[in-house]
Amino acid sequence: MLTQEQINTFKERLLKEKAKTEGYMENREEVYDEGELSHYDNHPADSGEELFLRERDQALTELDEEFLTDVDKALIAIENGTYGTCEVCGEEIELDRLEIIPETTLCIEHARAQEEAEHQTNQARPVEEDVLNPSETARHKQLDGSDDINQSTDAFSQVEDFGSSDTIADSEGNHDPTRE
C-alpha cells in the first residue's frame, strides 16, 4: 500500500507532466496560426513538407491527448483514494510500475490484456482493398493447388484501370524508335 507521502509525490509528478504536455500542445498550435493566405508561389515540395509536418504534429497531439486522459484518470484516482490499485481487479499496482508510468491505473496483466485487445481491433485491412479486387490469380486458384494463369490479370493492370500518367504520345503507334 502506498503511503500518503508517495501519493503526494506521484501527484506532483503527474501535475508537472500535465502542465508540460499542455505547453507542448499549445506551442504546436501556435506554429500553424501564422499561415500564408496563398500557397500559389510555393514549390510543391514545400507544400508536401508542410503537409507532412502537420500530419506529424496531429499524430503527436493525439498521443498527447491520450496521455492527458490517462493523467486525469490517475489524478481522479488519487482524489478518490484508489490510486495504486488496478481499476479492473483491485489488486495493488507494483511500485516499480508506478515509478515508471505514474499515470497508469492498471496492473501489468490487465495493461497487457488491454494492449492485446486494442492491437486486435486495429488489424483493419487497408482501404485500398475496398477498391481493388483480390488478385485474379488467387481467385482462379484451383482446389488442387494449380493456377489457371490464362484467366488471370496482373495487379498493375487492375491499378491502371483507375488511371495512369500515360500521355497520347505514350499510346501504341505513336512512338517512333528511330527518333531516339
Domain coordinates of the chain in residue numbers? Answer: 4-31+48-121, 125-160
Residues 6+ away with beta carbon under 8 Å from 15: 75
Handedness of CA 165, 167, 172, 174 (dihedral sign): negative
Q: Which pLDDT tens digit goes with each residue over 58-104?
A: 899 999 999 999 999 999 999 999 999 999 999 999 999 999 999 99
Q: Is 84 exposed, middle or buried (0-12, 13-18, 19+ CB in 10 A)?
A: buried
Q: Which pLDDT tens digit goes with each residue over 126-170?
A: 666 666 665 544 544 444 455 444 444 566 676 677 776 777 666
Q: What are phi and psi of 134, to 5 degrees?
A: -60, 160
pLDDT for residue 50: 82
Is the pLDDT score of 125 beyond 70? Answer: no
- The pTM for the full model equals 0.60
CB atoms within 10 A of CB 98: 20
CB 104 within 8 A of CB 96: no
Domain 4-31+48-121 grouped into CATH 3.40.640.10: no
pLDDT band for 176, please (50, 70, 90 cuts). low
